[in-house]
Each structure stands twice: as C-alpha cells, then as structure tokens.
C-alpha cells in the first residue's frame, strides 16, 4: 500500500505497553490519606480556626479587623505584651547567665560531684514550673511563707517580709530557675560532643588553656549558647502556669494569663483571644526561624569526636567554692520547693504547724482513693498521656518515614506541617483546639479525645524530629533489600524499619509522654470535670486554698514523672542493646573465608 505510516509497529506497541502492576496500591493510598487527614485535623484545622476567628467580632460574628486594632489601641492589651517581654528577656538572661557557667563546670572541669549536679539539674528540668511556683508560694508568700516567717523570728516581728513571690521579680526568679536546665543541657551537650582533638590541635600549636578556651572552645559553643538564649526567651514568653500562679493574684497581666481572662469574661471574648494569640505566634515563629538559621549555618557544633577522655581543667582551690555555687540551683529549684510541698502534703492541716500528731498520709489516701475528682484526674492523666504519646509517636514516625524516604510527591510538606506546632505556644494550641472542636460537625468538647488530640498535636514536632533522626541512621538499602526479596512497602516497614528503630522509638515515646503528663497550658481551656487531668486540677484547686491536697497531688505528679524518667533510660537501653547471640566464640571468627 502506498500509505506511509509514521508509527512503526514497534513504537505503537511501546506506546500501549505498561507494566502489569504499575497501579498505585489501595493500601498505600489509604495510609497516605490517613496521615494527611490526621495532620489536617491536628494542625491545620485548629490553626486555621484561630486565624479565622481572629478576624471576627465576638458580639456580632461579623468579619472585622477590629480585634487587631483593639490590641494596639488599648493600654489594657499593650501592658501584658510589655510585661511578657520583660519576663522573657529576664528569663533568658538568668537561664544563660547561670546555665552556661554551670555547663562548663560540669562538662569541662574537675568539679566535685559533677554527676550529682547533672542529675539534680535534670530533676529541675522535669519539674513542671507551676509546681515549682506552688512550692515557692509556701516558702516566700509575703505573710505565710516559711522563709519570711524565719526572717521575722530573726529580725523581729515588726520587720516586713524579706521575700515576696507574688511579684514580677518572683515570677522572673521562678521562670529563670526552671529554664536554666534548658540552656544547661544544650550547652553541656555541645561541650560534651565537641571533638577533643579540636582543643588538642590548639594545644599542640602552643596555645595555653585560657587561650584555647577563648579561641576554640567558646566560639564552638557560641551557637548553642545563642540557641539556648532564644529557647529560654520563648519559654519565658509562653509559660502560663507560673504567671497565673504568681502574677494574676497581684494584678500583673502577661499575654498568656490575659488570654485566659478572655475566656473567663461573660460573655467570653473568644474571637478577641484568637487575635491576641497572633503577636505571640509572630514572635515565637521569628525566634524559631532565627534559631534555625543560627544552628543551620553552624552545623560544626555537633561534629562529634571521641567521648571526652578524663582530661579536665583543674579548678584547684576554687573546687569547693565552685561546688557550693553549683549547688545553689538545685537548692532553690529542687530541694527547697520539694521539701515544702512534701511537708505540707504530709500534714493533716497545714495551719496547725508541724507536730507528730499532725503528720499523716491522709491527703495521699484522699487524693488516690477518697476523692472521686482527684482519682479521676490521676487516671485521666495517665490514660490520656499514654494514648497521646502513642498517637504522637506513631504519627510522627510515619510522617518522618514518608519524608525521609521521599515516598510521595510533596512529602516534605507533610514534614513542614508536622513541625508547625513547635512555634505554637501551648496556650494558643488550647485556643485553637477549643475553636476547632467545640462546634459541629466535630464537637468533641468534654470527650477525652479532645485532650488526647491536643496533647498529641502539641508534641508532634518532637516525635517527628526524633523519628527522623533515628531513620537517618538506618540506611535505605536495609529496606530495599527486603523489597527486592518480595516484601511490599508495608511489610518492609513493619518487619525491617520498626525493629531497627527499636529502642529509639521507646525513647521517643518517653520523650513525649513526660512533657505531656506535666503539661498545663494546652489543657487549660479544654477540660471539663469529667476530663480533668492532674495539672489542671492542681491549677484550679490552688484557688480553693486546699493547699494540703494541692501539694499531695503535686508530689504525686512529681513522683510519677521522676519514676518515668528513671525508667526511660534502662528500658530504652534494654530494647536497643546490640544483638549478640549467647554462644559467641571469638576464635570461631576465623572460619574459611
């Protein structure tokens, strides 16, 4: 035939050729869909509602910019912003001013009892700051505080109170001492991880100890110091419990307590509260961006070397004075407040003073078994935290896996969404979940699910980052090997990836469980009497003046937290122990090769 075909039969066949199983499997679509939906519900929706609400009027519900205008026009709303900044700056200065020298003493010098100081600082780390504040109210309330009472017996009954914890200074002190552990941990781990060779190299070139410190050690830890300053600043800015306990009674408002006030008005100004979240969000977002830039550029800080050998800077005659100085932080953040809480919780009636007849375990029995309210809160705390930590780690790990292995187009968007809550202060998270889930069609108010979801969302960034860092250590070939042997994606994830993550997953679980069980601000607008947790119960009960019960609950919460911290290390090590069969015979290694 004379017709010229442009398609050779071969290329026509190629055009229709398509591998038999190239369709996207149903299970894969279902998993990605579920992950996307969860991220939407936990992060996008609450945040979206806060944003949307901020542009609406509380009375009429109409679209408005009035809420934002009010922030800048009303002194009532500007004052808390200013107070929050003062609190944040002062907190960061204290945290870095104490945390950095302490880190250096513990990591670099021959300070006596270094390990003990480290453990005590970590104890301060896991102590919820509002419980610390409760302890200090017992110690330094202007009239009843024990330290003030002691002062009066020394200086005479006419002397005014020595300390007043109900003041800006008091709040700064509490925020400061409970934020020191953040800067301490960041800087000391930077010092610990710094390759000893870097300092040795300077020493071999003739540099003395001081010179080496000034030109090598300090520049290398500077990014960690700056980052910890930023983190401490954010902490001071976003803490809710401490200002609520110490500043609200004296009428000094900060942003976080002002937010709570909007909810207590009648009618509550919920849309106004949403707008009032924005300055806070703006500052935290900016600070995290700065921190990321600083840490991102100076990646060399974490270049790890060998575990530091025994060589340490000798403090000489300053050893013991330095030790007592280092002991000050645990004294004010752990010993004194814990002792106060413990003593009060063990008295039948605090007002009757210390005596043997007054000592009893009554309030513990009461809290655990006698009172249904406290009993419910304890059960709820444990249950919600367990569920939330599990959900958080599962979701964080799956998102990290999808991102790390670039499993779908736009995987990094999943990661970005999972990271967003890091810039959202707990109190704003609470506002967001209240906004999103107290309305149809997803009215979850009063259900445990609301708290579990809010907790999981708040700590998702930790679980996600932790999962990602474990996965970075697992070569993709280990998974590809399973694929090429016939295992599908799901089977590979369950049979290879999850077991290899092993102990890391468990440590990640503790890493989110511990902050969840001590979290107050996220829960504060979301609880109902049925879904009360220990933290909110303590927060609400301290106004009732039943200090014995509050203290007993606080001690119980501390005990649970400390027990978990103590258990986390050994448990994690147990599951991640490098596998070796029992019948190891080193000599057998020389088999025919």
Binding site for another protein (CB under 8 A): 14, 17-23, 475, 477-478, 480-489, 491, 495-496, 499-500, 502, 578-581, 583-584, 588-589, 591-593
Alpha helices (runs of H) in 298-335, residue ranges in sequence order:
319-330
Q: Which is closer to another protein, CB of 24 or CB of 205? A: 24
Exposed / middle / buried, residue 198 (Cβ in 10 Å: 0-12, 13-18, 19+): middle
| Nearest Cα residue to 459 out of 495, 488, 420 | 420
Q: Smallest gap, in angstroms, from Cβ of residue 580 to another protein?
A: 6
Adjacent-strand bridge partners of 194: 304
Task: Show the tokens assigned to 117.
Answer: 């100081």
Q: Which is closer to another protein, CB of 357 or CB of 588? A: 588
Q: Which is closer to another protein, CB of 153 or CB of 412? A: 412
Q: Smallest gap, in angstroms, from Cβ of residue 66 to another protein?
A: 48
Q: Smallest gap, in angstroms, from Cβ of residue 110 to another protein?
A: 36
Q: Which is closer to another protein, CB of 21 or CB of 75? A: 21
**304: helix, coil or strand?**
strand
Q: Which is closer to another protein, CB of 15 or CB of 157? A: 15
Task: Show the tokens assigned to 88.
Answer: 């944040």
Q: Which is closer to another protein, CB of 2 or CB of 19? A: 19
Adjacent-strand bridge partners of 359: 347
Q: Which is closer to another protein, CB of 327 or CB of 474? A: 474
Q: Smallest gap, in angstroms, from Cβ of residue 481 to another protein?
A: 4
Q: Smallest gap, in angstroms, from Cβ of residue 355 to another protein?
A: 59
Q: Smallest gap, in angstroms, from Cβ of residue 406 to another protein?
A: 12
Cα(17)–Cα(8) distance, integer angstroms: 14
Contact 380, 532 (CB under 8 A): yes
For residue 583, count other CB atoms closer than 10 A to its CB: 6
3-state helix, strand, coil in the chain (%, to 5): 75, 0, 25
Could you identify the residue written with the tokens 């009215």?
443
Question: From the centroid of its chain, how far is CA 255?
Answer: 20
Contact 462, 389 (CB under 8 A): no
Q: Smallest gap, in angstroms, from Cβ of residue 19 to another protein?
A: 4
Q: Which is closer to another protein, CB of 267 or CB of 486? A: 486
Could you identify the residue written with the tokens 């005659």?
317
Contact 53, 435 (CB under 8 A): yes
Q: Smallest gap, in angstroms, from Cβ of residue 11 to another protein?
A: 10
Q: Smallest gap, in angstroms, from Cβ of residue 491 to another protein?
A: 7
Exposed / middle / buried, residue 181 (Cβ in 10 Å: 0-12, 13-18, 19+): buried
Cα(590)–Cα(593) distance, integer angstroms: 8
How many residues are present in the chain? 593
Torsion angle, CA of 318/324/330/334, rounded to 10 degrees?
170
Q: Which is closer to another protein, CB of 8 or CB of 581? A: 581
Could you identify the residue written with the tokens 């803490």?
239
Q: Smallest gap, in angstroms, from Cβ of residue 506 to another protein?
A: 14
Q: Which is closer to another protein, CB of 298 or CB of 483? A: 483
Cα(188)–Cα(411) distance, integer angstroms: 34
Cα(65)–Cα(72) distance, integer angstroms: 12
Q: Which is closer to another protein, CB of 545 or CB of 592? A: 592
Adjacent-strand bridge partners of 63: 56
For residue 322, count other CB atoms closer than 10 A to its CB: 18
Q: Which is closer to another protein, CB of 192 or CB of 489? A: 489
Cα(544)–Cα(407) distance, integer angstroms: 54
Q: Smallest gap, in angstroms, from Cβ of residue 27 to another protein?
A: 12
| Nearest Cα residue to 384 out of 507, 559, 525, 523 | 523
Q: Smallest gap, in angstroms, from Cβ of residue 407 to another protein?
A: 12
């Amino acid at each position: 035939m004379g017709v010229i075909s442009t398609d050779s039969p071969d290329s026509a066949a190629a055009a229709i050729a398509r591998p038999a199983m190239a369709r996207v499997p149903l299970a894969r679509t279902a998993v990605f869909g579920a992950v996307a939906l969860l991220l939407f519900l936990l992060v996008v929706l609450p945040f979206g509602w806060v944003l949307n609400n901020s542009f609406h009027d509380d009375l009429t519900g109409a679209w408005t910019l009035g809420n934002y205008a009010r922030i800048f026009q009303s002194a009532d709303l500007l004052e808390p912003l200013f107070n929050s900044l003062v609190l944040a700056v002062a907190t960061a200065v204290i945290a870095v001013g104490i945390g950095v020298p302490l880190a250096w003493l513990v990591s670099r010098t021959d300070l006596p009892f270094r390990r003990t100081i480290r453990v005590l600082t970590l104890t301060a780390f896991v102590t919820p700051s509002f419980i610390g504040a409760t302890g200090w109210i017992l110690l330094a309330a202007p009239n009843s505080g024990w330290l003030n009472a002691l002062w009066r017996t020394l200086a005479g009954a006419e002397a005014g109170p020595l300390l007043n914890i109900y003041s800006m200074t008091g709040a700064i002190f509490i925020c400061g001492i409970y934020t020191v552990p953040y800067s301490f941990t960041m800087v000391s781990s930077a010092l610990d991880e710094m390759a000893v060779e870097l300092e040795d190299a300077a020493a071999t070139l003739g540099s003395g100890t001081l010179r080496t410190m000034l030109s090598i050690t300090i520049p290398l830890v500077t990014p960690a110091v700056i980052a910890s300053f930023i983190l401490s600043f954010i902490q001071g800015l976003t803490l809710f419990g401490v200002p609520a306990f110490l500043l609200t009674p004296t009428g000094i408002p900060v942003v976080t307590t002002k937010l709570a006030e909007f909810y207590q008005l009648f009618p509550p100004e919920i849309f106004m509260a949403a707008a009032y979240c924005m300055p806070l969000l703006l500052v935290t977002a900016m600070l995290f961006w700065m921190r990321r830039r600083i840490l991102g550029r100076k990646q060399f800080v974490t270049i790890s070397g060998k575990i530091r050998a025994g060589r340490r800077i000798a403090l000489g005659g300053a050893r013991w004075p330095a030790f007592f100085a280092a002991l000050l932080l645990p004294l004010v953040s752990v010993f004194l407040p814990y002792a106060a809480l413990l003593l009060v919780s063990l008295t039948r009636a605090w007002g009757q003073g210390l005596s043997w007849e007054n000592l009893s375990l009554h309030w513990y029995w009461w809290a655990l078994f006698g009172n249904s309210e406290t009993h419910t809160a304890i059960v709820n705390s444990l249950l919600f935290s367990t569920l939330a930590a599990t959900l958080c780690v599962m979701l964080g790990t799956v998102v990290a896996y999808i991102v790390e292995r670039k499993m779908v187009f736009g995987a990094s968007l999943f990661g970005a969404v999972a990271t967003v809550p890091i810039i959202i202060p707990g109190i704003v998270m609470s506002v967001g979940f209240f906004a999103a889930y107290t309305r149809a069609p997803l009215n979850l108010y009063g259900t445990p699910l609301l708290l579990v979801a809010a907790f999981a969302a708040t700590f998702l960034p930790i679980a996600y980052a932790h999962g990602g860092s474990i996965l970075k250590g697992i070569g993709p070939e280990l998974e590809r090997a399973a694929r090429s042997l016939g295992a599908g994606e799901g089977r590979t994830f369950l049979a290879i990836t999850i077991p290899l993550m092993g102990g890391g997953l468990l440590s990640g679980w503790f890493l989110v469980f511990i902050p969840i069980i001590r979290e107050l601000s996220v829960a504060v607008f979301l609880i109902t009497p049925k879904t009360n947790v220990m933290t909110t119960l303590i927060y609400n009960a301290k106004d009732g003046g039943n200090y014995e019960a509050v203290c007993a609950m606080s001690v119980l919460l501390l005990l649970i937290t400390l027990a978990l911290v103590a258990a986390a290390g050994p448990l994690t090590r147990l599951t991640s122990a490098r596998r070796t069969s029992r019948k190891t015979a080193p000599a057998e290694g020389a088999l025919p090769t």
